[in-house]
Structure formats: structure tokens, C-alpha cells
């Protein structure tokens, strides 16, 4: 079956995710390189040990970690990073102290100065605000297993979640609304403070040309289903044979050659297993809310819509964002 192009939207979403991941990797690589100057053995270098832990948490490939460390120890040539601090004042005289790692001090100072002046602040000389801060060690526990958290502590947290002990109560909420050009938006949230979350979602919508709607105002525009997306060039016949035999509802090829498989949520794992067994690796495989119709946006509307989606996806309480918008180049 044929259909309009979903692939451009998928590429844009993947591109945004890859860009975020790239920024994280860049920051961690710098930390690995600088930390390893004090020795490439993590057992005798606590800073390097922490940097490696961060890299693993971000799923950084082992080869990338190894090269970053070797650049720091001098085993491989590479960029020379410099650590330094910059000080200044924000609005209302608020003190700001920045710790920098850069391969180009002049460029970094110019960028920081521009940020200060653009937001009603100003750069200051060394020592102007540093005395207002104390450098201390900080230990954070992100994952119970990685930190060897005591079993009793883990059990208490599970009991809080199940209601066996008092604790934070999380609530699943879905917000509906409209973005630029009338595109439907649906936002799934998990929050311990409904008032805070609705305010953040409303602000993200209204600031970018949208508005919050009532329950049910756009939900009918989406279908709850399993979705698999394959890049252009994937054999439609091979996908169709494996998917339909496993119980998929539909196989759609878009204008760019991307192949989409749809199934009932309950059949997702069965269909996924059959496709993987056939050697087919999906770019996206998830249970989602698929828009039944597309709202094509471009120009200013497209830019506003993209900003709105970026802001919504960055909110801590937001679990997923669905939209009918298809944003053109």
C-alpha cells in the first residue's frame, strides 16, 4: 500500500536525538581526555573512574572511550583542552561562576561574554565572585545496582511506589492541545505535581503559538497501535511477508521508499520477533499514538511547531509527545 512520506519526519526526530546525544558525548570525551592526564588507570584515578562511569551510562562505545583516554595520556595525538573558570553577574547582581573545558579559549570567552550581555548580565574579572562559592565533593547515586545500594533501601523505594509505605505519589496524565497551524498535540506525562506539570505544558504551547485543549479534543485524531519504521531501500515484499504472517494489520510504503508496519498493541512483541527473525532491523519500533491524518507545516509555522516539540520533550515530567504535524524543510 502507498502513503505520504513519514520518513522526513522520522529523520528529523532521529537527527534531533542524535544531536543531543552528540553534545553529551562531546562533553564526556573532553572529561575523559582531561582526567586521563593524571594517569590512564581508573583504579588510581578517581576522576577518570567517574568519567568512565558517565560514558558507560551514556552508552558510549568502548573504542570511543579508549581513544579519548589515549589522547589524554599522550598515546594518541589530538586536541589540547584547557580548563579555566569565568566569572560574572546575571540579572539582579546574581553571581555566576562557570567552569570551562575548551580547545579555544578566545572563542569560548567571546561566546560566554555574548550570553551575559544578551541576557542583562556582564563578565567580571577573576576573583570577583569566586569567593562566594566553596568547592566540595559531591556523591550522587543514580542507579541502585551500580551504586551497590543496600537491599533494604531498594525495598523501601519499591514499597513506596506500590503503596506499602508512604512516599511520593506519581500520576499519569495526558494533555491535549493544538500547535501552530492547528496541528493536534497530545502529551503523556508522569508527575508528582499535577499543578506544576500543567503549567509547564501550557507555557510550552502558548509560548509557541499553540494552546491547551480539553480532554478528548484531539485524542480521536490518533490511533493506539504498534509501529515499525524501515529506511528507504528496505524490501517491501520481505517486510510484508514477515509482518502479515505474524498478524500485522497493515504495511505502508511512503513516497520516499520508507516502509511502515502497523499492528495491534497486543501483537507488538509477536510481530517484532517475526521481523527480527527475518533479519529486518527497524529504525523505530514502538507502541505509539499514530496520527490518522497529517497537518503539513512549513515556514514560520513549522519553526514554531518544532520549537514547541523540543520544549515539550525536554520537560522532566513528559514521557511522550504525539502530533499530527509534518514539518517541511
Say how many Å lie between the first and final Cα of the chain, rounded: 25
Rg, Å, the chain Cα set: 24
Split at pLDDT 50, 70, 90, the class of 177 is very high
d(Cα 285, Cα 293) in Å, to the nearest integer?
20
| Mean model confidence pLDDT for the chain | 83
Average pLDDT over residues 103-132: 89
**Angle, vertex CA 111, rays to CA 110 and CA 115, nearest 5:** 115
Residues 6+ apart with CB under 8 A from 302: 180, 327, 328
Burial 203-216 (b: 16+ CB within 10 A, else e): ebbeebbbebbeee
249-258 per-position pLDDT tens digit? 999 888 778 8
Spatial neighbors of 310 by CB under 8 A, at least 6 apart, are 16
The neighbouring-strand residues paired with 241 are none
Averaged pLDDT for residues 237-261:
90
pLDDT > 80? residue 6: no
State if pTM tops 0.75: no
For 25-37, the pLDDT digits (tens) are 888 888 888 888 8
pLDDT at 19 over 70: no
The DSSP output letter for 88 is E
Structural domains in the chain plus CATH codes: 2-73 (1.10.10.200), 82-132 (3.30.70.980), 137-167 (no CATH), 171-220+295-327 (3.30.70.980), 232-282 (3.30.70.980)
Q: Is the dihedral of CA 234, 236, 241, 242 positive or negative?
A: positive
User: Would you say 87 and 98 are in contact if contact means Cβ atoms under 8 Å apart?
Assistant: yes
Q: Could you please report the per-residue DSSP string of 12-77?
A: HHHHHHHHHHHHHHHHHHHHHHHHGGG-S-GGG-HHHHHHHHHHHHTT--HHHHHHHHHHHHTSS-
pLDDT at site 206 = 94
Structural element, H or E, at residue 301: helix 299-314
d(CA 7, CA 229): 8
Amino acid at each position: 500500500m502507498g502513503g505520504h512520506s513519514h520518513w522526513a519526519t522520522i529523520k528529523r526526530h532521529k537527527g534531533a536525538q542524535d544531536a543531543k546525544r552528540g553534545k553529551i558525548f562531546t562533553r564526556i570525551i573532553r572529561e575523559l581526555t582531561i582526567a586521563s592526564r593524571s594517569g590512564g588507570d581508573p583504579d588510581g584515578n578517581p576522576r577518570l573512574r567517574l568519567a568512565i562511569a558517565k560514558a558507560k551510562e551514556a552508552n558510549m562505545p568502548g573504542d570511543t572511550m579508549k581513544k579519548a583516554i589515549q589522547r589524554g595520556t599522550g598515546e594518541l595525538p589530538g586536541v589540547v583542552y584547557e580548563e579555566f573558570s569565568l566569572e560574572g553577574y546575571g540579572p539582579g547582581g546574581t553571581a555566576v561562576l562557570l567552569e570551562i573545558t575548551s580547545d579555544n579559549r578566545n572563542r569560548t570567552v567571546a561566546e560566554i561574554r555574548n550570553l551575559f550581555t544578551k541576557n542583562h548580565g556582564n563578565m567580571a574579572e577573576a576573583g570577583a565572585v569566586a569567593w562566594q562559592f566553596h568547592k566540595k565533593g559531591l556523591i550522587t547515586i543514580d542507579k541502585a545496582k551500580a551504586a551497590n545500594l543496600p537491599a533494604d533501601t531498594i525495598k523501601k523505594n519499591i514499597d513506596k511506589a506500590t503503596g506499602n509505605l508512604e512516599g511520593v505519589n506519581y500520576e499519569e496524565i495526558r494533555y491535549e492541545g493544538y500547535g501552530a497551524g492547528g496541528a493536534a498535540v497530545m502529551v503523556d506525562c508522569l508527575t508528582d505535581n499535577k499543578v506544576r506539570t500543567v503549567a509547564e505544558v501550557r507555557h510550552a504551547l502558548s509560548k509557541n503559538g499553540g494552546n491547551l485543549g480539553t480532554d478528548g479534543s484531539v485524542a480521536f485524531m490518533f490511533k493506539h497501535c504498534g509501529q515499525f519504521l524501515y529506511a528507504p531501500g528496505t524490501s517491501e515484499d520481505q517486510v510484508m511477508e514477515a509482518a502479515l504472517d505474524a498478524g500485522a494489520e497493515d504495511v505502508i510504503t511512503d513516497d520516499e521508499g520508507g516502509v511502515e508496519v502497523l499492528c495491534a498493541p497486543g501483537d507488538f512483541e509477536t510481530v517484532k520477533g517475526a521481523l527480527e527473525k527475518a533479519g529486518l532491523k527497524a529504525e523505530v519500533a514502538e507502541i505509539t499514538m499514530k496520527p490518522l491524518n497529517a497537518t503539513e507545516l512549513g515556514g514560520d509555522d513549522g519553526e514554531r511547531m518544532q520549537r514547541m516539540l523540543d520544549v515539550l520533550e525536554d520537560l522532566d515530567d513528559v514521557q511522550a509527545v504525539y502530533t499530527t504535524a509534518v514539518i517541511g524543510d
